[in-house]
Amino acid sequence: MNAPAAELLNTLRKHGARVSVQQGKLCVDAPVKLLTHDTKSALIAFKPDIIDLLQPSQAKQQSRSEVFRVKVDAKFIIVICPGGVTEETVMPRLHSRFGPGRVGAVSRVS
């Protein structure tokens, strides 16, 4: 692991930046005040290392499915979603599918 690249990535995230790789390109969504000349220079210098750090975790997250146990009416069902989906983000989908009054407890299955 490249320690300076990892440190830069952690610092950016700690200050509210979202750093990702989209179609092989490094994408940084950060507050303008965070993107100083020095920060931009470091991003350019460590770009290949940051991409290497991010790609394995993104591929793993996208390939892994999330499984939820959901109570609908008086029965429990299993719902399988793409990786990265949380209980909070699955609820609107469940409400639109089954109706808000019918969906009860939602828990992630490990």
Structure tokens at 61: 């997250």
Dihedral angle over CA of 90, 95, 96, 102, nearest 10: 140
pLDDT in tens, the chain (110 residues): 578 889 999 999 999 999 988 888 899 999 889 999 999 999 999 999 999 888 865 555 555 778 899 999 989 999 888 777 888 888 888 888 888 889 988 888 86
With beta carbons less than 8 A apart as the criterion, state whether 92 and 103 touch: no
- The pTM (predicted TM-score) of the whole model is 0.50
Instruction: Report the CATH architecture of 3-62.
Output: Orthogonal Bundle (1.10)
